[in-house]
A and B are shown apart, each in its own frame.
Chain A
Amino acid sequence: MEFLNLILIGTAALLVLRQPERERLAFRLLVVSTLLMVFLFSVATRTGLLPGVNY
């Protein structure tokens, strides 16, 4: 899934560089990539979502 996310990020960067008129698409890719990052981190830490320290 990290591979997919990096492909999304690279695509967004190329759009910004080469086809700036597609800014909306590039920004959407940025948002999707961000959500995927948050989702994957949450999956990986689902048994203890908060930092494991004293509260």
Chain B
Amino acid sequence: MTDSPTTAPDAPQPSAPHNTVFTLVALAVLVLTVIPVGVAVFWLAFARGDSPCVMCWEQRIGMLLISLIGLFVLRFGPKPKYVGMAVLIATWGLFMGVRHTAMHAARDIGQGFSLEIFGAHTYTWALFIYWICAFAMGLLLLMTRPAHLSSGVRTLGGLERFAFGAFIVVVAGNAVQAFVSTGPPPFMGQSDPIRFTFNPKYWHWSLEEWKPAKLGLRGRWAVDKPDLALAVADPAAGPLGVRPPLVVKERRPLTLALDGAPTDLAFDDASGQFLVTTAHGIYLTDGTLTRVTRQTVIDGGYSVDLGRLAGAAFLDKGELIAVGENKSYVVLKPNDKANADSNFRYFLSSRDKFDEVSRSRFTTVRARLLYIMSTAYDVASNSVYTLTVPNNLVKRLVVSRFDRRDLTLSEEFVPTLSLDPALALGKDRSLGEYMITGAAIADGRLFAVSASYGTLLVLDLATHRIVAAYTIPGLARPTGLAIKGSDCYIVSDDGTLTVVPRPAGAAAPASRDSTTR
């Protein structure tokens, strides 16, 4: 390769001597050019048929641009504008690496996109390589002296000329691959590229990425928090149309001294107590919901972010669970001799009334990226249930069951309708439109109250089918449901208690209620 420097108009100084810094820059260019990018094109693509996706292409090009800046430095010295560009590209490369890796980072072990290299997928290496680039640039800057800055047009040494040659060969190889895989402008890289081949019959050039699409920052993660204000009040507008009404036996305001609006309700048949939650408060009351017998306020910011408590249930062993909208939970046990000092980290008030047993997060599959607003406990299966609520992106009702023993996902399903012809969805309607805010279980059936359409759904847990649906006249913004004997107790966010009979055909046995221990 010919090296024929001429004097640059802005830097007529004589060539600077070769020294360690320029040798290291040449080596860095060689390493960055040959190992990730050269191997990617000559081995992964030409030998093994790998094709980079559009994001991989830009990450690969970013590495070549950093190498190109290295060539500028070899020729003209480390001018500030080169260093500035290198830092900008490295930081953008780190961002690209995080953006790309984030798409796959939470998948199961070994899963990913396209090829692995040394046990890690290619996009993961991009993140690591850009980090190394930034690190190496910092080291080289530390070694830079004023003499390097006035290098003028340098005469290239053998290693430096080799770095230029390797760079041009690798760029040429990539240009060939880019022409084959992505085509000439305006075609561009693809999200799911087909494997590389020199046979033009199988070349696929795409304009798919240019198609109009809605701009967004977080994509499918941009899920709004649940908002009762979005609930549709009119029962007749529900997906199941007009449903038979339940008779309201009692409606009265709660007179409990709570620290906020109630967010869920549960009943324990054994102790005759109700459990009421607020955003961060937990209250045990008497059996008439008129007197608080024990209460505390959770420090939701300690360790696991519980968010806003949205579901609650009595468990076995005298324990109770409160679940946040984000499916994080805390398990508590009432204790008259709780150590207030030890409990300082867990509770904001009444630290001597409960002990915290555990605090963690439910992991779901179908219910992933969906919030919940209800929790129920089933004594028969010794399981905790949660139900999802619709959001701004997805309307899907998912029931998740967690084994009580390890509070790990054990079953998940999307309910369907029973074969009863009286139950039918309207055209283009979905059960996912119901906003389930309270749930309780009895006799193998899950009773779920929806803030939207003021409806009580009855779900058979064995068949996963909705077997009945009723409207509750005058019910506004319900947030919790408990079953006490043959009645359903429903609390609303304005503190109103509504009592309706548990629907016929699902009567409780004489002595048990599955929300009890």
Enumerate chain A interface residues (CB-CB to B < 8 A): 1-7, 9-10, 12-14, 16-21, 23, 26-27, 30-31, 33-34, 37-38, 40-41, 43-55
Contacts and interface: CB of A to CB of B under 8 A. Distances in A.
A44 B62 CA distance: 15
B55 interface: yes
B99 A51 contact: yes
B270 interface: no
Contacts of B400: none
A43 B153 CA distance: 38
Given A6-B178, A18-B2, A20-B6, A51 B98 contact: yes
A45 B55 contact: yes
Given A13-B164, A21-B6, A44 B209 contact: yes
B64 interface: yes
B514 interface: no
Interface stretch (B66-74, B112-120, B287-295): B66-74
A16 B72 CA distance: 7
A10 B98 contact: no
Contacts of B75: 16-17, 20, 23
Interface string B225-242: 000000000000000000
Given A2-B61, A6-B61, A54-B221, A23 B8 contact: yes
A31 B88 CA distance: 11
B54 A17 contact: no
A40 B76 contact: no
Contacts, number: 162
A30 B65 contact: yes
Given A3-B182, A6-B178, A49 B216 contact: yes
In the A-B complex, the 9 residue pairs with the smallest Cβ-Cβ separation, listed nearest first, are A48-B219, A51-B102, A3-B178, A41-B58, A1-B188, A6-B175, A2-B178, A44-B54, A10-B171
Given A13-B167, A20-B153, A40-B189, A30 B72 contact: yes
Interface string B1-38: 11111111110000000000000000000000000000
Most buried by A among B58, B101, B185, B210: B58
Given A20-B75, A44-B55, A53 B171 contact: no
A24 B247 CA distance: 83
A33 B99 contact: no
Given A13-B68, A47-B213, 8 more contacts: A10-B172, A12-B68, A17-B164, A23-B75, A44-B191, A44-B209, A50-B217, A51-B101
B214 interface: yes
Contact of A9 (B5, B57, B61, B210): B61
Contacts of B175: 3, 6-7, 10
A3 B171 CA distance: 10
A14 B178 contact: no
Contacts of B88: 34
B69 A4 contact: no
B337 interface: no
B470 to A, nearest CB: 38
B174 A18 contact: no
A3 B319 CA distance: 64
Given A17-B1, A53-B221, A3 B65 contact: no
B203 interface: no
Contacts of A3: 175, 178-179, 182-185
Contacts of B218: 48, 50, 52, 55
10 contacts: A1-B185, A1-B187, A7-B175, A17-B71, A20-B75, A34-B88, A41-B55, A41-B96, A46-B215, A55-B221
B213 A46 contact: yes
Given A13-B168, A14-B168, A30-B69, A52 B185 contact: no
A48 B68 contact: no
Contacts of B2: 18
A17 to B, nearest CB: 5
Nearest to B61: A37
A53 to B, nearest CB: 5
Interface string B181-202: 0111111110100000000000
A44 to B, nearest CB: 4
Contacts of B3: 17
Contacts of B76: 16, 20, 23
Given A3-B183, A9-B64, A17-B71, A48 B216 contact: yes
